[in-house]
Amino acid sequence: FFSAASHELKTPLASIRLLADSILQNETMDQVTLRDFVSDIGTEADRLTRITEHLLALTRLDSLPAAETFPVDVSAVTRRALSMLAPVADAAGVALGSNLKDKCVVQGTEDDLYQICFNLLENGIKYNRPGGRVMADVYRDGDQVLLEVSDTGVGIPEEDMPKVFNRFYRVDKSHSSGGTGLGLSIVKHGAAYLGAQVELHSEPGHGSTFTLTFPKAGA
């Protein structure tokens, strides 16, 4: 894990070093190229920030003693994640929809639940196409509470499905997606922490659905 994490941090750092060297060594660089290089340095720095945040989230889930849990309203937390991601969806040309029922309460911590919702919704937007859609459903089935995030995006090939929850696993290995490969590990870990089951259905070219099934609060 440490070697994989170091490798992930090394790549953007090496890019920043290279870009900075190129600027320093080329005294006659034109303004447009200079701005491009500086913008690329910013992008790599953003990537380092995302990786660091994800690593911290995982470390926290791994090493903290079980935090005190409270009844958490899944619909309210999902609504918060949706409003936070609205500008991102807008920029990607992806429509966000939701059907959030009342009284869907689970036992856990709001932070963990928010992180799960956020990562699933963000992926639904990121691995989508302009004109696509991401839908969040929260409802009850008997004593259980279900959170479903579905998208009309690129989908996940069958052979990759068991692996997408692994740390640093990305279907598209290039860094162009800006992903860290840690988002779904946090979802899986966080779900386990909250006692929830995670299911994934996906059809390449059509979209994916992630379903979390929580036990009844207090169960």
- Distances 130 to 93, 98, 119, 124, 126 between C-alpha atoms, Å: 5, 18, 19, 12, 10
Report the residue from 74, 154, 191, 217 that binds ligand ADP according to the rule CB under 6 A: 154
Encoded one letter per residue, x for contact with ligand ADP by CB under 6 A and - for no contact, window 101-120 reads: ------------------x-
Does residue 121 sit in helix, strand or coil? helix
Q: Cβ of 92: how many Cβ atoms within 10 Å? A: 17
155 SS3 class: coil
For residue 181, state whether it binds ligand ADP (rule: CB under 6 A): yes
45's CB contacts (< 8 A; 6+ apart) are 12, 16
Between 21 and 172, whose beta carbon lies closer to ligand ADP? 172
Total interface residues for ligand ADP by CB under 6 A: 23
Cβ closest to ligand ADP, residue 22 vs residue 177: 177
Name the residue nearer to ligand ADP (CB basis): 73 or 153: 153
Select the residue interacting with ligand ADP from 75, 138, 152, 170 (CB under 6 A).
170
Tell me the closest approach of the beta carbon of residue 93 to ligand ADP, in angstroms.
Answer: 16
Nearest to 82 by CA among 140, 48, 131, 133: 133
Q: Which contiguous run of DSSP H or E holds residue 97?
A: strand 95-100
Instruction: Summarize as ranges the residues that interact with ligand ADP (CB under 6 A).
Output: 119, 123-124, 127, 151, 153-156, 164, 169-172, 177, 179-185, 208
